[in-house]
Amino acid sequence: MMKSNINIEYIGLVGKKMAQEASVPVALHLDHGQSYEYCLTALRHGFSSVMIDASVKSLKENNAITKKVVAACKHLGISVEAELGYVGEGSTYDNDSDDSYKTLPEEVKKFVAKTDVDALQSLSAMPMVLTKRLLRLTMED
């Protein structure tokens, strides 16, 4: 597991202050939290949503960890995002032709049903190149 050098307490204080001063609603989101404990630390310091990224673990472990984070957050009204499968890096999307590691739609459906997660980041078997082109078209319109 990767150790974070980010002081989550400090980020929470600064983020909450900035959110209070904003003229629009603001969410303070923990992105790619690497463990259940780190997600709980973010909650204790004012984050209003979390992403648990247990995608490097087995599917069974990812299910269990994500479900545990969701259970801790739901009664607090905190939304939870998770990651399933290998999403990759933006710099490699156009060059990536290997679909073997991508998440199957059936896995996504089962994962969401088992974990009750609010949002999911996953790369399905649809080529990312197509997704990027659609995004460009939408943004240019």
Place of tokens 């472990």: 61
d(CA 124, CA 134): 15
pLDDT digits (tens, 9 = 90+) for 44-78: 999 999 999 998 899 999 999 999 999 999 999 99
Summary mean pLDDT of the chain: 81
Average pLDDT estimate for 96-100: 54
- Which of 31, 94, 99, 116 is catalytic? The answer is 31
d(CA 31, CA 112): 18
Any idea what the CATH number is for the domain that residue 70 is in? 3.20.20.70
Average pLDDT estimate for 75-82: 94
Q: Report pLDDT for 20.
A: 93
d(CA 31, CA 49): 9
Identify whether 61 is part of a domain: yes
98 among known catalytic residues: no
Q: What share of the chain in percent tops pLDDT 90?
A: 57
Average pLDDT estimate for 72-97: 75
Structure tokens belonging to residue 82? 């998770």
Average pLDDT estimate for 69-98: 77
CB 54 within 8 A of CB 19: no
CB 43 within 8 A of CB 26: no
Identify whether 2 is part of a domain: no
Identify whether 129 is part of a domain: yes
pLDDT at position 79 over 90: yes
Identify whether 59 is part of a domain: yes
Structural domain that includes position 82: 8-140
d(CA 89, CA 73): 28
Classify residue 28 by its DSSP letter: -
- Could you tell me the pTM of the whole model? 0.75
| Structural domains counted in the chain | 1
